[in-house]
């Protein structure tokens, strides 16, 4: 058994900043946390700065990274942005997607992200023909995360229709969406079951009898416009049988709400509840345009909420009722979604600052609460309740933030959490540890030495 020791100059221990903490790691887990070691023990690796549990990126579409900058030209809406996104999706193959995702996940590691939830719906070849391996695209993403050294929860997504309709089966997918669709939810379940069996799903053994702690396979419903109402329960039942996380885009656009009300005489949240989708293993993403009843419904079912503030502001979606959702009982997590930026510290900061703009009052969340959303609650949403803490038995995933950069210097260390959340950026991440392995050392990725070049090359390959 290989044992590694890290000495943390300052550590966030769930409620406070503690100086001089020694963490012992074996087999990817924290086996001991000791305070009061004023100097690093012999053989320990010193991590100077403030060390937090590894950050969780609960909602990612890796290929959207290729749109950064391009979609900021001119004006438009979510729907015009979507057309540009479809053009990039059309150019992706298992090989080009692997290269792009590998670079994107390496960028995440540099930003202190140790686990990602990949909301994956790009399943088949252009035209909708399955690859010889029906899960080739999903396996490319899993391999990319492994190459970049971070954990992945692959949220394999059912995407079956182009819009809400009274007709059974919804509106047929358009020419861009046919490669997303398995035809029916039952066909989706058959395909994703093979993927989950190979990698062990959540908490189970893979086909070889071993469980890969770096991979989880969960489920997602793209949205109520993309999965017909009569097929929602099939996806929910698959996730329930597997005890897997289940994610869904919810009420991101008012047009979706209007169509759902016109067709089903109920909101998307109520429609999901009526078909068994909501619950404590489910995470609703965005939840921007909710009624009072919707908020109460998510809270009472303990359905989680993933907010993606940098994407929601980039697409002019609006500010979701995050504070009201949490007060109602919905745990909050954070995602970088379309990767307008990849910076979970910025997502946490934006959650509070957006609410200040809406309410014109300050102090809706403490720095501690925002760190919890970025760590423990994010990991739980990805089917990893053992992550997001610096304590015995937890995943040995850590991120160290510099307290001496131009952004962070000048405050006493006991206020390190406030400095990290309200001043630091991804550029201040100095070290990232995943499963006890020193993945990012002094700001450099140890597996992919030139991440900017990897990004440039892989984006050029799919750019129109």
- Helix-strand-coil split of the chain, %, nearest 5: 40, 20, 40
User: How far apart, in whole angstroms, are the C-alpha atoms of residue 296 and residue 313?
Assistant: 25
User: How far apart, in whole angstroms, are the C-alpha atoms of residue 299 and residue 147?
Assistant: 38
Q: Which of 314, 337, 343, 377 is catalytic?
A: 337
Strand pairing of 55-60 and 113-120? parallel
Q: Which helix (H) or strand (E) holds 440?
A: strand 437-441
Q: Which helix (H) or strand (E) holds 381?
A: helix 376-381
Q: Is 424 helix (H, G, I), strand (E, B) or coil?
A: coil
Question: Does the annotation mark 286 as catalytic?
Answer: yes
What are the two backbone dihedrals, phi and then psi, of residue 48, each rounded to the nearest 5 degrees? -85, 130
User: How far apart, in whole angstroms, are the C-alpha atoms of residue 289 and residue 419?
Assistant: 31
Q: Is 351 helix (H, G, I), strand (E, B) or coil?
A: helix
Q: CA-based angle 434:191:95, to the nearest 5?
A: 55
Q: Which of 275, 286, 289, 364 is catalytic?
A: 286
Sort residue 431 into left (φ over 0), alpha (ψ -120 to 50) or beta.
beta
In sequence order, what DSSP letters do the residues of 282-335 get, joined into one string?
EEEEE--S--HHHHHHHHHTT-EEEE-HHHHHHTT-----HHHHHHHTPPEEE-
Handedness of CA 285, 289, 295, 298 (dihedral sign): negative
Q: What residues are labeled active site? A: 286, 337
């Amino acid at each position: 058994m290989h044992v590694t020791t890290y000495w943390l100059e300052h550590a966030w221990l769930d409620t406070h900043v503690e100086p001089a903490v020694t963490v012992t790691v074996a087999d990817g887990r924290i086996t001991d946390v000791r305070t009061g070691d004023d100097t690093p023990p012999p053989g320990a690796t010193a991590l100077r700065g403030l060390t937090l549990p590894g950050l969780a990126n609960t909602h990612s579409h890796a290929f959207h990274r290729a749109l950064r900058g391009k979609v900021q030209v001119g004006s438009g809406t979510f729907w015009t942005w979507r057309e540009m996104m479809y053009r990039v999706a059309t150019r992706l193959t298992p090989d080009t997607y692997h290269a792009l995702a590998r670079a994107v996940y390496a960028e995440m590691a540099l930003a202190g992200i140790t686990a990602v939830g990949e909301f994956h719906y790009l399943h088949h070849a252009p035209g909708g023909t399955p690859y010889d391996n029906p899960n080739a695209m999903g396996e490319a993403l899993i391999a990319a995360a492994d190459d970049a050294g971070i954990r992945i929860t692959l949220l394999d997504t059912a995407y079956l229709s182009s819009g809400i309709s009274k007709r059974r089966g919804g509106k047929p997918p358009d020419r861009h969406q046919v490669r997303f669709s398995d035809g029916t939810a039952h066909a989706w379940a058959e395909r994703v079951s093979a993927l989950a069996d190979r990698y062990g799903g959540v908490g189970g053994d893979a086909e070889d009898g071993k469980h890969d702690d770096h991979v989880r396979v969960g489920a997602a419903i793209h949205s109520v416009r993309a999965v017909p109402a009569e097929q929602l329960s099939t996806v929910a039942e698959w996730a329930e049988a597997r005890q897997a996380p289940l994610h869904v885009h919810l009420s991101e656009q008012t047009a979706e709400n209007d169509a759902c009300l016109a067709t089903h005489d109920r909101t998307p949240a109520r429609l999901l509840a009526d078909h068994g989708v909501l619950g404590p293993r489910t995470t609703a993403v965005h939840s921007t345009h909710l009624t009072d009843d919707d908020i109460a419904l998510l809270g009472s079912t303990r359905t989680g909420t993933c907010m993606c503030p940098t994407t929601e502001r980039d697409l002019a979606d609006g500010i979701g009722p995050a504070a009201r959702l949490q007060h109602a009982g919905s745990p909050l997590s954070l995602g970088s979604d379309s990767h307008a930026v990849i910076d979970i510290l910025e997502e946490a900061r934006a959650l509070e600052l957006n609410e200040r703009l809406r309410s014109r009052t300050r102090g809706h969340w403490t720095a501690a609460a925002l760190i919890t959303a970025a760590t423990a609650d994010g990991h739980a949403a990805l089917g990893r309740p053992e992550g997001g803490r610096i304590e015995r038995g937890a995943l040995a995933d850590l991120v160290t933030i510099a307290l001496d950069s131009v952004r962070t210097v000048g405050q006493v260390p006991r206020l390190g959490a406030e400095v990290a959340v309200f001043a630091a950026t991804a550029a201040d991440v100095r070290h990232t540890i995943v499963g006890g392995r020193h993945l990012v050392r002094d700001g450099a990725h140890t597996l992919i030495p030139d991440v900017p070049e990897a990004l440039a090359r892989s984006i050029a390959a799919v750019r129109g």
